[in-house]
Structure 1
Amino acid sequence: MDAAPGMVYSVMGPLVPQGLGTIDGHTHVWIEAVGAQDANAPVLTALPEIIAEVMAYHAAGGTAIVDCQPGGCGRDGRRLLEISERAHVAIIAATGFHLRRYYPPYAPVFHSSADDARQQFIDELTHTLAENAGSPTPVRAGFIKIACEATLAASPRHLIEAAVQAAVATDAAIEVHTERGAEAAAIMRFMLDKGLPAGKLILCHMDKRPDVALHRELAQAGVALEYDTFFRPKYGDVVWPLIEQMLAAGHEDALVLATDMADSKLLLTSAGGPGAAALLTQVIPRLNDMGVPAATVRKLTGQNIARRLARG
């Protein structure tokens, strides 16, 4: 199946990036229980409530969601397609891999060779997600999600290389889970040295390490920095000044804002959380109150991630 040039691939098909509006650049809408090694691994399977939340996101003006759960640790492309169709929101699914603790004790991806992993990622980006194989409607991954441990040395570097090779082969972007921004510069250098274009790299959870000098260095190298702690009290007083400083330094094209709601207590208003629409109902209004120009708000909450996700 050939890729259309310059398109963002959602579970419902390719989309023109210029036509996308507000995008939550990193969150989760469905996570199956998989018998993960981490007893506290998140599970999101309350289908009616999840659909209601994504519908609320749409009603507030949201057009797309980047779902960051890779295969094998809770992703279900069939559910993502159902939620997307019923809520009228484009969901962009991930191939790749997460932290080991979110998988069962034996997880095939961590026993794969680099070549096998690369081909698996390419297949999901160009054909269909594994769980949708055999379906009359192919559901492609729209990007690669990978996860680094607290150190690069402890991370599965052969899988990181496989992800880079798959990204280069398909023009896909890679979102990287960092452990609170740990070793972000080393991760960037490793991946760029392996051939990944800087414009295809998004380093996630970077507001948990609010080192402005580091963030400026990364942004100047051309990578994107994803911020998502808006609804976590531990970091709430950090992210807003960080945004102000990065914008003042001229890095409005490098920031991707998101909510990372891998928890029913965040995603579901019925559970007391801010809900899936909070990017639109709380984050964007505060940016407006800060005096951030509307054109810049559109970059931070949609255009920057759409440009990086576009393939071809």
Structure 2
Amino acid sequence: MSESLWRPTAPLENLRRRATLLADIRRFFAERQVLEMEVPILSRRATSDPHIDSIVADCSGAPAFLATSPEFGLKRLLAAGIGDCYYLGKAFRNGEAGGRHNPEFTMLEWYRVGWDDHRLMIEVGEFLSWVLKISHVRSYSYRALFLQHLDVDPHRASFEELKAVLARVLEISFEPAGRDECLDLLMSHHIEPAMGEGITLVYDFPASQAALARVEEDELGVPVARRFEAYVGGMELANGYWELTDAPEQLRRFEADQRYREDNDKPVNPFEERLVQALEAGMPACAGVALGVDRLLMLACGAGRIDEVIGFPIDRA
């Protein structure tokens, strides 16, 4: 065994910068009277998101799951009347390790009661500008980006049309599974690298990518997901929603996720039915956003890999 494996992978200066950043984040929200909340990071319920896998633990002889985000706990607090709130702490996702990922990571998630996605998008831009000292903030609809970079309407193009665009701009050795996979590949491999410097906010995603966001018609009468993503220099940092408050629709989406998992041989675990109960009780209209603190610190430090801003990533934990 190497004698150096006890050492942190991040330079100590970056770890000191992390401590300063966490204090700055708490000051940002204290000044805006947003309360810091704690929620469980070990639960009897798992994420149902088909694209995220929970880490399973044995707890008193029964399975428990490390939280992939604080979302469900915070929304239950919102339904109980806590008001504007945030979480700053650890989250866990299985199988996510690499230059920008670690299975254990630091997440910032906050909720604003009475706000929609566009109002929260402004605050996210202000937050990122303040932390990173960047003044250039621009916003585009998802449609506008695809028209600008690929001359295709992502909401109306057929699967065949999207495959043709994909073949024109990217080399892939497999058949995409559907429209959303085509769109994701075009966004991540063609549009994101071309975003350039500064803060880019993208809103009105395809309705099929709504996750836990509301779906409403845009100015052209096309159903879109009322959610946004924030990028800096082409790196995705945050994902925000005008939150779904419809309990039956939430249950339908959970059940659809479970069917997808079953059909694709992915683990099917207990989903958070208590969120449905919270929505039935009356969660207030609100907007929420989750932001990756480690990636934010990478940008603040000019780091190229996540292990330059984490003391002990998974291979040294």
Tell whether the structures are fold-level matches, with TM greater than 0.5: no
- Give the number of the structure whose alpha-carbon radius of gyration is greater: 2
Judging by fraction of residues, say which structure has more strand.
Answer: 2
> TM-score if structure 1 supplies the norm length?
0.25
> TM-score if structure 2 supplies the norm length?
0.25
